[in-house]
Each structure stands twice: as C-alpha cells, then as structure tokens.
Structure 1
Amino acid sequence: MTFTSETEAFEFFNAYAKRKGFRVRKSIIKRDKTNGAIKFRRFYCSRHGFREKKHIDKPNRKRQHKLLTRCGCPVKFCVKLDKRTGTWWVQDFNDCHNYDLAAVDTAPFLRSHCFISEAQKLEISSKRASGIQNCQILDYDARCRGGYQNRGYQEKNLYNFSTVHERSRFLEDDADSIISIVSCENDETYRWLLEAFLEAMYQVRPESVITDGDLAMGKAIKSILKGTTHRICSWHMERNAKKYIHGKSAIEKFHKLVYTCTSDKFETKWKDFKKEVSKRSPSRQWLQMIYRLKESWAAAFVKKKMFLGMPSTQRSESLNARLHNYIKCKMSLCRAIQQFERCLTRMRTKEAELDCIAFQKEPVLQTPFLDLEKSAVSNYTTKVFYIVQKELKNIQHLSIPIKN
C-alpha cells in the first residue's frame, strides 16, 4: 500500500482507527540529513507505552491524578518515503491490541477523531455571526450528518474554537479597557469613554448632550466636553421627582419649571415650588441637588439651546430596549459586539423594507379632504398617515353652526 504524502498516510490510519475503536498518536520522525525532509514516520495507538513514574509519584500534588490511558499497547503503523518514486509505503504494521476497543457509538469521542475541518470552521463562524448558539449548532450539524458520530467534532471542540475565534477579532488590551467601562460607572471610566469618543471624532465636540441624572457622567462631561451644553433628560427628572414630590399642585409647579418657566421668573417660581414641596416631603437634600443642577434641566436655561426639539433620551432608551433582546449581562465582550451588529443589521433591514413600501406603494384616500390626505401621503410615513386619516374620518361628519 502506498500514499502520496505523510499526511495522507496519517488520515488513512486515523480513519481505520475510528472504525476499529481506538485513537492514534504521532510518534517517531526521521529526516534526511541532506535537506531535512521527512523520510520516515511512525504512528502508534494512543495507549502505547506507560505513564512515567515521575508524573505519578510527584510530591505535594494538589490536583487529582488524570485517568490512566496508556497500557503498553503494541499497535503501530510505520510509513517510509521512497526517494526514487516520491511515494510513501507501509514499512511495518501491527494490529494486535491488548485492551478492549471502543464501541461504535463511543469511538467518535476519542481524541484523534474529534477535530473541526476548515470547511466546518467557516460554516460555524457564519452561524455564530448570525446569532446561532453553540448548542443549536451542535444539534443542527448532528441532524444534517445523520448523527453525532458523523459530525467529526464534539462539544468541547466547538466551544474551544468559538472562544479562540472571537478573541482573535479583538486586541486583548482594548477588550480589557472596554470591559472596565462597561462594568464600572464612575468619573474615571466616563472620562476615558469621552476621550475615546473625541479621538474617534477628530476632537470635534458635540453642540449638546442629553443624559440621565448620573452625577459622575455630568462631571466627566463638564471636564472633557468643554463648551458642550449638557441637559438632563426630562423623563428621568420626572421619574426621580416622583419619589419626593407629592400632591397635584406641587407636580404642576415642577412641570412648569422643567418645560415652560422663563429665566426672569425662575427664582420666584422655584421658591414657591420649594415651599410647596417642603410641606409634604422631608428631602431637602434632593431639592438642593437639583437646584445646583438647574442649568442642566430647567426650561429657563436650556430652552434656547440647540437640542433639535428633544427634551429626553427617549430615542436612546428605545435602542436600549431593543438591545436588551440581544445582549445579556453574562455574555463575553466579543459575543456582545456580535449581537450588537446583529441588532443594527435587523433595524436597518426593517427600515429599508419600510422605505420600499413608502416609496413604491400609496394608501387609498378615503375622506372628502383629498388635499389634506395627499399632503399627508407626501409628507408622512404610511403609519403616521393612517393616524391622520383616522382623525379626518372622525371629523368628516362634524358640522359647524354659522350664525347669521
């Protein structure tokens, strides 16, 4: 029997070993002294030889001994290169085992038979990038190939490959830096984040920023984004205020401070509001804190700043809600970034689909107010148009009495 290469000889013997129920181990190698090329190769049964005593009699051992695998099995497969023809031929072969071989259903778990081919690696990487979990990949591949024994790899191989592949996509130092930002919300990490943001934006600072009421974030913005107008989200202000404000009158006064109060009347209305709240709430510390931050939330100070009509981080919270469906707290950094990319891809796909509907299809006009409906069709999305159309339907039967 001859082979075209040493690799082909190994693959043949390994395939034979799988059918028989044992695993293969590479051993002695001999090279040509003139050019260093391999001219002889010996393969053993993995249970050839015995474990050295120094590994068994090691003093002060803390870990449990690994299970013994070697029992002196004499099986070997030796191939030699024929320099004249360039082919490899079998020089020696012994097939007499001294132990019971593995059954057909257990042989696929032997080490030399558990590996992921290059084609499978590409397929697994594609599935992982699409959000398919490792456990689902295992089940899918086993079903497609007629069972786990034909899959070629096992659970441990898959998880090891996934971990190494994902880590290779990122520099370790960068990953550690990002993990510290995610896990520790304080002034130092926020400063690092904003400095990284400025570097990515070529030191161009934003005109304005809206955040929640995190004091550490506010402090970092004031230090790093000098000249940027910082506004505290109005929704977060209202949510926090519910803990300390009680009574309809006090809530109405606070709403005016947040949304409508002018600068010349702020101090007067604040004193009136503070007096109202002090009657019903013992929390003076909260009142003092929001007063110090008045320039970040009160309409008197933020009304004329550029926020494009946005008083809150509602858009950001909407994205956060979507991300919660993809990203879990126990995910690795690499996996979280993959899931983030999946989320954005789906959002963009859905947006493109809705754009196609908006530009290629038109809703049916159903009210007497055709000019208004046509204007709504050309200026609004289909979803918003139906809201307008519903209102037009509700008013079409109304009549306005005219006095003579």
Structure 2
Amino acid sequence: MADLHVESTVQDNTDHSPQNNEDVQKCHVVVPTTGMKFESEDEIYSFYNNYAYQMGFGVRISSKRKKPHKTYYALGCHKRGVYESKAESSKQSKSCKTDCPAKISVIVDYDGTCAISCVSLEHNHALSPKKSRFQRSHKKIDSYSKRRLELNDSAGIPLAKIFHSLVVEAEGYENLAFGERDCRNYIAKARQLRLGKGDAEALRDYFVRMQKRSTNFFYVIDMDDEGRLKNVFWADARSRAAYQLFGDVVFFDSTYLTNKYNMPFAPFVGVNHHGQFMLFGCGLVSREDTETYVWLLKSWLECMDGHAPKAIITYQCRAIQGAVAHVFPDSLHRLCLWHIMKKVPEKLGKLNQYKAIKKTLKSLVYESIQSQEFEDGWSQMIKEYALDKNDWLCSLFDDRKRWVPLYVKVIFWAGMSTTQRSEGMNAFFDDYVNSKTSLRQFVEQYDNALKSKKEKETKADFDSLNASYKLMTGFHFEKQFQASYTNAMFKLVQIELQCMLFCNHSLLKTHGTISTFNVTDILRGKRGELKRKVVYTVSFDEVGRDIQCSCHLFEFRGIICRHMMKILIEKDVKEIPSCYILSRWRKDLKHRHYHVINCYEDLKSGGHAKQFEQLCSSFYEVAHIANSQEKYDYLLKCIALAKEKLSDDSSWSVNTNTNTISQDAHIVSEPKKPLLPPAQVRSKGHPPTKRKESKIEQVTKKKRKINVHEANGISSVNDNIYRRSYDFDLNH
C-alpha cells in the first residue's frame, strides 16, 4: 500500500488509497465525498481535476443526460470505458481504457449549483502523480506562455526554440503544465484566428485590410474559371515610393522559394543608396510561361504608374525574355551571369575535357577586355574542343551582349555586379519563409521581413549621418566623397583608392585640350599574388574636366575607378565636377519613401491587446521593484485582492449606451464569392538548376545527410555551408 496521507473536510474512515501505486508522494489531498456542493460546473470540475492531478490520473466527462430542471453526469478517471477495436481497420492504435470504476456522480440543479451524489475512489490501475502533467485534462497553457508563444511566433522564431526558452525559464520540463505538441497546436489555432481558415481567403482578406489602412497599397489577384487562386501580385506603399528614386535598375527572379502549392515566389528587387536590396513588389505565379510572366509584369507596371525601369536583370529563360520584350520594349535587358555560370557543370560536366573547357570559358568571360578578343577566343574554344554542336553554348554566344561583362559594363546597373548572385533579396527572406510555408504564414512573415529591412536602412542612414570612415589620403576629392556619399558607397571609393597603388600610368598622346593615358593595372589575387597586368585607356579634358576610362566602372557602378583617380592626381585636380558624384548614392538627400508610414499588419493590433501589453509591462516593472520579502508579500496580497475583485462580474457595470456603436456595425456587406486555394502546380522544369532553398532548409538537409553517413559508419562530410556575399566589385 502506498504511503498516502489523506486530509478530508468530511469525516471519512475508509482507506481509499490505490493499490500498487508508483511515484505517489506524501501530500495533503481534499477527497471528494457525497453531499459536497459547488456553485457551478466549472468549480466542481476544477476541484475534481485538481484532486486527480495530486493522485496521478486524468479526468473525463461521461454519461451526461438531461431532465427537467436537473442534469446528471459523471466525472471519472480517463481510463473509464472499454476500448472497441474496428475489425475492418488494419492500422493498430493505442488505447488507455481499462474500464476503471473511479468516478463522482454530479447533479446540476436548475440554478446552476452542483452536488456530488455518489463517489467511487477505487482505481484498477497504478497511479503516478509525478507524471500527471502528461494527462490531457491537466495540460493548460497559461496566459503568460500564450503571449510569449504568439509574440515569438510572429517574430519568426522556430517553435522548438520558443518552447526551450519556456523550459529554461520554468527550470525544467516537470514545471510546465504543457508540452511542445500543445504549443504547436496553440500556435496553429492562433494563426487561424489571425488569418482565417483558408489560405486563399486569408490572403485576400489581408490585402483588403491593408488597402483600407493605406490607399497606396496595391494588389491584383488572378483566378481561374473554377474560382481558384492562380496568380497574385502586391506592393506596399513604401516600396512604390522608393521605386520612384531607386527604380532605374530592377532585378527580377523567380527561381528561389516556393510555397506548399509550388507557386514560385517572384520578387522585384532594386538597391538603395546604401547598396542594400529593396523590394519593389512581389508575386506568386502558378506557371512559368510567357503568358503568366506578361500578366505579372503588366500588373507591376500598372502598380508603378506605367513607369518602366531603365534596365532589368533576369535569369536565362525564354519565357521571361519574351515577356520583358513585350511589356518593357524600351528597357535594357541583361541576363544574370551568376545563373549562367551556375549551369556550366550541368551543361558541360559530362564532356571529356570538362576542366579545360571550364577554365577557358571562365577566362574568356571574366578577363576579356576587347570584344574582338572575346569573339576570337570563343571561336578558338569551340574549334579546339569540338563544341560546335552544343546548342547551349551556341545560344550563349548569340546572347553574349546580354550577359558577358565586356558588353554590359558600358551601361549603368546601379551597383549590381556582373557576378551578382540571384539570391540577394531571396536571402533577405531566408529567416522568414521556406518552401513549405503556407500562404497564411507567408503574409505574416512578409511584413516581418519588410519591417526588418526598413530598420536596417534606418540604421544605415543614422550611421552615415553621424559617423564616417577616416580619410586615407589628403586628396580633396576623397573629402568630397566622404561628405556626400553614404558609408557603404564611400567605402567602395576607398577600395579604389587602395587599388590605385598598383596602377602605373604613361602619357599616350595629346590632342588639343584632351590628353590620353595608358594606365597599367596590376591585378592581384586574394592572397596578394600577381595574377595579370591589364592596360586601360584614360582620356582627360583640361577644359571641361571630363574624364573617361575604358574599364567603364563609372558607367557601370557610378563610382570613379582607380585609373581615373590616378590621372586626376597626375593633373592635380583639386575638386572633381558634381557630375561624378551621383545623387543616387548621396546620404544628405531626404527620400520620399522615408515619409511613408507603412500600415503593416499588426498581429495584435486591437485595443484590448494594447491594454494587455501595457498591463504586462507594468507587472514586469512592479516585479522588479518587489526586491524584498516584505514587498513580495505585499504585492501578492494586492494581486490576490485585485484578482478577487476583477473575477466578480456583478460589481462591474456594463455600458449599454447604443450611441457608442460604430456606424460600421450597421453595414451589411454583400457575401463575397469564396476564393479557393490554388491547385498544386507542376513546374515545367525551368530553369534547369534546382530551385534554391532557404538557409534553414539547407542546414536541415545537410545535418540529415551527415547523420545518415554517420549511421552507416561513413566519416562525416564537411558541413560548412558557405554563403556567397554580395559583391560590388567588377571583374576587370
């Protein structure tokens, strides 16, 4: 017999302790007895459930029946009843039922009061008070933990980490009345309450709410004949305002993340005056064909009031190329070099001389200075390795003026390097979404990502206005750039100044006021080793102070190159003309999008929620003040008194003044046609490379692969995951 001390409010000489109970500790238990009365059903359930927790079993309601003026039911052990297996089911399932007789019979009177009419305390199974927290009836997430879960989930923190923080705060799993699965269930329900039940409906409702808050919020939804979501595009007010200044060059890419419906995520991306990526709107498309991309580009053009970008960068895709030519006929179109070079192993990897071909190809692409040099070298490569029947290389040569650095560097691309990797803005979403993200979750995390991006831009503005990199030289034009440019752009100027040390110049010729120089650039590797020498031509006009270089770095990036600096110093130019200081990179301009207050969807934006936040904040402050035993005891008494007062609803009057009802309450809107979720989309397999995944997915797959190797006795592979950094440098 277990060692159990029972203290009852009613005289009870019977020993009701269960036989062979494990983990039952000495405790003071109020035992239910016949005749006990309670004010409500909630009160009697709370009493019996508390008793069950101390004894070590769960509670369930059974055999409820109603009669005139009275209701009868039983509160019993969770093991009451007999398990009935389904003969036709081949799937085995677990059951906890042992037909346990332990229960109390309850009679509910017409006024809501309850009484115990019969008590049975004997169990036919062992009890375990230490494990009571695992019983369903004892699992309960308190309001503080609910608040923590919702706030951290809306911030994009993985639930496993949120739960672990609660465990650490509670000093152990045994001190929590809920488990990780309970947290997941609660978060799932909370998301439904925030965003509705249906993915597509939630997306549309979100757009409607955002447009009510800001008339400049833009969205377009494309549906099929069955009413299913087909394509969608949207852009917030701040993105539309930023496009007016930074929308000269746009990067469009749909090869990154998809959602659970396999709808590619297609963002429109630009760069601001700090070189940071900016979002100019994004879409979710159901197909990767010309018709779909035409719809998306037209929607975006309408959003931007018909102002097409001067230049646009996309990956190599015939469908996108056709759509860009149709919608943006006057825009310069460039193909992303990173995407093209990424395909080299797949397209050429099976050739016998692959390594030699790859080396030759990279040398031609990155090191060619003149167009004739590139074309002659390409023809020689095709002939030497017998590649004349390779369709992919033939198509690349036909499109060479759209992707080879030699041809595209004469055009301004706002700092997007020819080696620009496509996941610039996609990495921006890495910590927020992945390929399993539902549309409901996406609209939550989309706002979080934009808030984060805005905060980073604000911080960069503050840093540029309040501090700057120290001058490296005494040249006046360096001071000009320090005073005008943001820190990120001024740092690029200083990099060119450093590289100027490896440049030598010589006068080639003089014609009137124009002098032409040869500048030899000694290019070095990452370790400082000599790679090669390249000669560039720089022309300088003494009268107009006009200077040009054959490397075209200024035309491409808007930063004067090291070769131009060398000649400016040679000519003793104190102050360079203002045309070489682009307003696009200045830090002292007040940009229009700074004044746009974005009405991001606040997940806890109600008045009650704000009051709740203020109360919680006040409670934290008071808890820190109560730093002695006397203050602690006083605070607990005040809380208990306030809790008792607030729990008595009869003492609080209800305002029934109908004049306080908003007019919106009288408006009855027409029932809108339900928007069905999108059908699962099968990608046509373009582009040939695998669709990129988020950083979280890459790490997860890497760990899973390592575990498999270790389980098979194979040495673990190198699990370093390299993140390619954003590269402003032009390969000369």
TM-score of the two chains, using structure 1 as the length reference: 0.71
Equivalent position SS for 2:287: helix
Report the residue type matching 2:394 in the other structure: Q
1:380 to 467, 473, 485: 485
Structure 2 matches for 1:48-67, cutoff 5 A?
A: 48-51=80-83, 55-56=84-85, 58-67=86-95
Rate the CA distance shift 1:220–1:187 in 2: closer, same or farther, 3 A: farther
CA shift for structure 1 position 249? 11
Tell me which residue corresponds to 1:181. 263
Structure 2 matches for 1:76-91, cutoff 5 A?
A: 76-81=104-109, 83=111, 88-91=113-116
1:232 and 2:264 correspond: no
CA displacement, residues 267-290 of structure 1 (integer Å, 9 cap, x when unaligned): x88974553232223223234322
CA shift for structure 1 position 108? 0.6
Decide whether the 8 Å contact of 1:205 with 1:225 is kept in 2: no
Tell me which residue corresponds to 2:364. 251
Query: Which has the larger displacement, 109-118 or 298-307?
Result: 298-307
The 2-side partners of 1:4 and 1:78 are apart by: 12
2:466 to 353, 360, 368: 360
CA displacement, residues 184-223 of structure 1 (integer Å, 9 cap, x when unaligned): x999335546635644664658444311223454355556
Number of residue pairs aligned between Structure 1 and Structure 2: 379
CA displacement, residues 363-400 of structure 1 (integer Å, 9 cap, x when unaligned): 5667544x4454223212235445656849998xxx97
CA displacement, residues 210-239 of structure 1 (integer Å, 9 cap, x when unaligned): 112234543555567677654212444566
Tell me which residue corresponds to 1:75. 103
Report the residue type matching 1:154 in the other structure: G
Tell me which residue corresponds to 1:172. 199
Greater per-residue strand proportion:
2
Percent identity over the alignment is: 20
CA shift for structure 1 position 124? 0.9
Tell me which residue corresponds to 1:46. 78
Identify which of structures 1 and 2 has the higher relative contact order when contacts are C-alpha pairs closer than 8 Å and 6+ apart: 2
Query: Which has the larger displacement, 123-132 or 38-47?
Result: 38-47
Structure 2 matches for 1:229-308, cutoff 5 A?
A: 230-237=333-340, 247=360, 251=364, 255=368, 272=376, 275-284=379-388, 285-293=391-399, 296-297=402-403
Query: Which has the larger displacement, 102-111 or 297-306?
Result: 297-306
Decide whether the 8 Å contact of 1:80 with 1:90 is kept in 2: yes
Gapped runs of 5+ residues in structure 2? 1-35, 204-228, 231-258, 266-283, 349-356, 502-568, 573-732
The 1-side partners of 2:374 and 2:491 are apart by: 43
CA shift for structure 1 position 356? 1.4
Report the residue type matching 1:13 in the other structure: Y
Tell me which residue corresponds to 1:102. 127
Decide whether the 8 Å contact of 1:29 with 1:40 is kept in 2: yes
Query: Which has the larger displacement, 120-129 or 22-31?
Result: 22-31
Rate the CA distance shift 1:113–1:310 in 2: closer, same or farther, 3 A: same
1:123 to 148, 154, 159: 148
1:158 and 2:183 correspond: yes
Decide whether the 8 Å contact of 1:245 with 1:251 is kept in 2: no
CA shift for structure 1 position 14? 1.6
Equivalent position SS for 1:106: helix
Rate the CA distance shift 1:270–1:135 in 2: closer, same or farther, 3 A: closer
1:12 and 2:115 correspond: no
1:209 to 295, 312, 325: 312
The 2-side partners of 1:142 and 1:245 are apart by: 53
Structure 2 matches for 1:322-401, cutoff 5 A?
A: 322-324=428-430, 342-361=448-467, 368-369=474-475, 371-385=476-490, 388=493, 391=497
CA displacement, residues 316-375 of structure 1 (integer Å, 9 cap, x when unaligned): 533334544665556666666656655544443233222212223455667544x44542
The 1-side partners of 2:453 and 2:58 are apart by: 49
CA shift for structure 1 position 109? 0.5
CA shift for structure 1 position 8? 3.0
The 2-side partners of 1:187 and 1:91 are apart by: 62
Rate the CA distance shift 1:280–1:12 in 2: closer, same or farther, 3 A: farther
The 2-side partners of 1:162 and 1:292 are apart by: 53
Rate the CA distance shift 1:19–1:381 in 2: closer, same or farther, 3 A: same
The 2-side partners of 1:8 and 1:187 are apart by: 54
Tell me which residue corresponds to 1:264. none
Query: Which has the larger displacement, 323-332 or 20-29?
Result: 323-332
Decide whether the 8 Å contact of 1:245 with 1:281 is kept in 2: no
The 1-side partners of 2:411 and 2:571 are apart by: 44
CA displacement, residues 40-59 of structure 1 (integer Å, 9 cap, x when unaligned): 553222222323xxx33x43
1:147 and 2:247 correspond: no
Report the residue type matching 1:380 in the other structure: Y
Rate the CA distance shift 1:394–1:189 in 2: closer, same or farther, 3 A: closer
The 2-side partners of 1:136 and 1:309 are apart by: 38
1:25 to 38, 60, 82: 60
Equivalent position SS for 1:283: coil
Decide whether the 8 Å contact of 2:339 with 2:421 is kept in 1: no
Rate the CA distance shift 1:43–1:340 in 2: closer, same or farther, 3 A: same
Decide whether the 8 Å contact of 1:246 with 1:277 is kept in 2: no
The 1-side partners of 2:104 and 2:162 are apart by: 36
The 2-side partners of 1:164 and 1:382 are apart by: 45
Rate the CA distance shift 1:43–1:238 in 2: closer, same or farther, 3 A: closer
The 1-side partners of 2:410 and 2:169 are apart by: 63
The 2-side partners of 1:281 and 1:144 are apart by: 66
Equivalent position SS for 2:128: coil
The 2-side partners of 1:374 and 1:300 are apart by: 32
The 1-side partners of 2:402 and 2:335 are apart by: 5
Decide whether the 8 Å contact of 1:323 with 1:343 is kept in 2: yes
Decide whether the 8 Å contact of 1:20 with 1:101 is kept in 2: no
CA shift for structure 1 position 63? 0.9
CA shift for structure 1 position 21? 1.1
CA displacement, residues 268-316 of structure 1 (integer Å, 9 cap, x when unaligned): 8897455323222322323432255457447999789885575648375
What CA RMSD, in Å, does the superposition of the two structures yield over aligned residues?
4.7
Tell me which residue corresponds to 2:730. none
CA shift for structure 1 position 138? 2.5
Decide whether the 8 Å contact of 1:76 with 1:95 is kept in 2: yes
Report the residue type matching 2:138 in the other structure: H
Greater per-residue helix proportion:
1
TM-score of the two chains, using structure 2 as the length reference: 0.43
Equivalent position SS for 1:290: helix
Decide whether the 8 Å contact of 1:22 with 1:46 is kept in 2: yes
Decide whether the 8 Å contact of 1:210 with 1:313 is kept in 2: no
